[in-house]
Amino acid sequence: MKTLLHVKSSIFGDDGQSVQLADRLIKRWLQQNPEGQVVVRDLAAEPIAHFDMQTIAALSAEAEQRSPEQQAIVALSDQLITELQEADVLVLAAPMYNFAVPSQLKAWFDQIAKNGVTFRYTEQGPVGLLQDRPVYVLATRGGQYREAGLDFQVPWIKLILGFVGLKQVEVVYAEGLNMAGADVAIEQARVELDALTLS
């Protein structure tokens, strides 16, 4: 049985345009994988705290010396990484907020990029430790950046996914969603989505 991990970061929850595109893709995936299991990590509904000194102290403490608060921090970190390790397919619903990914999604990446677990440094540089698997990114934005060469969101997502070993990344863009012609743009994204060969 395959597992798909759906990471949502829209502050609009299930009404978010990125989430709706992701839901469409997942519906198709479930038709192809009727036994498939979908795990949802909703970063807006259950935000992850910023990566800070408390987090580092908890992750560095010896297991038997951790306070209850530190145990909770480590448990969440472990859970987020396990969800990712166990997923055969990753779906990232990724809106653009202030030219970048939502801070909720950045906080998730801060947690799952863990030295010795999802990447490690070698003499030749960093090596991703996650087994590669298909990743589908639904990139929604109010304006248009792709053609203008001003996209700091998707290249960053690809960079950090590659850093942890995930290189099979397909991106569906829905641009100009706050501009005239948004209906056409979202329809184009749906068509592109429906044409993807899903794993």
Ligand X SMILES: Cc1cc2nc3c(=O)[nH]c(=O)nc-3n(C[C@H](O)[C@H](O)[C@H](O)COP(=O)(O)O)c2cc1C
Most distant CA atoms of the chain, gap in Å: 58
> With respect to ligand X, which residue has the nearer C-beta, 17 or 55?
17
> With respect to ligand X, which residue has the nearer C-beta, 18 or 77?
18
Q: How far is residue 59 from each of residues 33, 53, 64, 66, 181, measured CA to CA in Å? A: 37, 10, 12, 9, 48
* Distance in Å, CB of 131 to ligand X, minimum: 28
* Distance in Å, CB of 66 to ligand X, minimum: 35
Which of 56, 60, 86, 143 is the binder for ligand X (CB under 6 A)? 143
Q: How far is residue 127 from each of residues 77, 113, 136, 154, 159, measured CA to CA in Å? A: 20, 12, 22, 21, 12
Rounded to 5 degrees, φ, ψ at 187 are: -65, -40
Asked if residue 147 binds ligand X (CB under 6 A), the reply is no
Which of 36, 47, 126, 142 is the binder for ligand X (CB under 6 A)? 142
Asked if residue 16 binds ligand X (CB under 6 A), the reply is yes
CA distance 68 to 108: 22
* Distance in Å, CB of 108 to ligand X, minimum: 15
Interacting positions 40-79 with ligand X (CB under 6 A): none
Asked if residue 141 binds ligand X (CB under 6 A), the reply is yes
Q: Which residues are bridge partners to 38 per DSSP?
A: 4
Which of 4, 6, 17, 90 is the binder for ligand X (CB under 6 A)? 17
> With respect to ligand X, which residue has the nearer C-beta, 72 or 181?
181
- Kindly tell me the number of DSSP H helices and DSSP E strands found in the chain: 6, 7
- 11 near 102, Cβ under 8 Å? yes
Binding site for ligand X (CB under 6 A): 10, 12, 16-19, 95-99, 140-143, 177-178
